[in-house]
Structure 1
């Protein structure tokens, strides 16, 4: 009514299909936008907490009880150059492979010349049963009257020596007591080697160096030092092997590394730990 100065606003016509905000349909795209981050977060949590379980389960499936087939005449030059064969102690528990760092076995050989007291090192090779070495092992030259000692180590739980052609008797090999092996370690002809070494020391032909003094002012450690050893002191060996890209094994020599490539397989041992500690302490291992 114009006379009263009152203006009546004409109601606006709402477009067809309009719904008030509180009655609008929930967009499926918005639902996806909310759920996707939630699902991804749940997957991430499951991966983080589930991965260690999967890894431990996979590790539990690895057969840690392996055996080495000792070749005939293991203390001879040809026996030293003949690869040992790695097999499962019980095949029902799964195979054993030298390229697997959780199963690999290692051998360290020491040769003393009683005439001079000189000691040289030769490490026989370990390969999987039924395979060939990536490179033919070098046949060592042994001096007349040489006394050979062999020591064995393993990254698995236990390592059992198995004979072939009377090799355990020929090598004077000891794996433990009857029905109870030592575990990861064993040896062949070690008492005779140490007897020859002690005789050479008494004769002045073999002179062990003084321990020396470390940077901390204390004597340099040995494999009997409680700063180095654990409850099974001096176990395992310092031998390295070369694992080629194809999974075969060779002796870790400069020539093989240059020709074959690959990576080094190591045995965890107190003796190898000494070399690392000595380097930090300014000591020289013998």
Structure 2
């Protein structure tokens, strides 16, 4: 009996460790130590706590530009740091489907990922549950969810520049280059870290993302916990109205070490 209890306790301990490892986008010891001061954005910069698994956050570059022109520093600072969370729909609107879905249906896609073996590139479809479409504000330019980014009808080009100061004076030299629009995905926007992750099962939102812009923050599994890498190249965004912006991810860590806490440099209009 004693040996059985010991074995069960060991199993629970291992499961707990795995949960902590898989949730590594969040600081494990945030509640134990005093929190350092928050990051204060400079001119042409945004700071977004995008650590939530369940929310999208929207950026309106035109609003930021108007606030800059108006000289309303208090409102501008608020717009640079405070973002409304738009939850990813989770409530089912229909029955679960176990056969692969071939068209662009909004909902939750459950996939098995080989997190402890060949890596997350090795994955297989498990089932699909339809949900409502993702909500969004009336006006927005890009949206971020952890290491995912999507545009509002835009397209993106990655440059070789690693500083906003290195950019040409105008975006004209980029206009005839190849820009990439958003693409449909069913297994990249991971939106839950429940206990199913212990077995490699992770639900994802079916939605369009921009893979070029999303490449500014990459996640690799293995190793465990996941390894993140920052691509500090400047990206050029062509908005759906034909205007241009420059974007760069400067940092993805909070002062306390939380991952997916984004500091973004921007230039708009460009």
Query: TM-score, normalised to structure 1's length?
Result: 0.27
Greater relative contact order structure (CA < 8 Å, 6+ sep): 2
Q: Looking at secondary structure, tell me which structure has more helix per residue.
A: 1
Query: TM-score, normalised to structure 2's length?
Result: 0.28
The structure with more radius of gyration: 1
Q: Looking at secondary structure, tell me which structure has more strand per residue.
A: 2
